[in-house]
Structures are given as structure tokens and as C-alpha cells.
Amino acid sequence: MKTILSKIMKTAWQFFKTTGMTFSECLKKAWKNYKLIKNMKEGIVKFYFQKVNGEIREAWGTLNEKYLPQITGIDNRKKNDFVQVYFDTEKQEFRSFKKLNLI
């Protein structure tokens, strides 16, 4: 539990440092992101986020290995702490969104 709380606080501080939002709002967004990831690891979840162009997107996604396709090769992309990757079960491909844009 202690590592979970430290991860949430780290995310909230990252949000706080890069936005003009209050720390309280950043903490709420960090908790939302944590809960979404936790639920996606358990199954398929419906969630919403704001796209870069301002449009609201409804998504059905998962991080549960049972629903993920077989991954071939090694992905050498640099990790981005501000972006969440998920498997879109409607499009049947990996997608991502900015963590700050989660609704």
C-alpha cells in the first residue's frame, strides 16, 4: 500500500509542476488514473478522456493480459510518464491518452 500511495503522490506532483492546477485537483486526477489502471488490469473498462483537439472520447480499454494480443518483437520506445497506453477493445489495437486529460 505504501508504494501505491507514493506512486500516486509522485504522479500528483508531476501534474502540479507542469500545470497551473491546484495540488488538490492534481491529486484527484492522480487517483483517477490509478483507479483506471487498476480496473483495466482486472478487465475491460469504459472511460472517457479529452482528445488533444478538445473532443471527448469514450473508450473501452484493458490492460488485462487475457484480452491483449500476442506481442512480437521488442518495443524500445522511451517511457512517457504523462501518457497512458491501453488496449482498445473496440479498435483492437493499442492506443494512448494524456493522463491529465482523463475525465
CA atoms in the 13 A half-sphere facing the CB of 12: 18
Answer yes or no: pTM beyond 0.85: yes
C-alpha cell at 19: 500545470
Contact 56, 103 (CB under 8 A): yes
Q: In which element (H, E) is residue 34 found?
A: helix 23-42
**Starting at the edge strand that comes first in sequence, how are the strands of the sheet with 45-50 ordered?**
45-50, 56-62, 83-88, 93-98
pLDDT digits (tens, 9 = 90+) for 23-45: 999 999 999 999 999 999 999 99
CA atoms in the 13 A half-sphere facing the CB of 25: 12
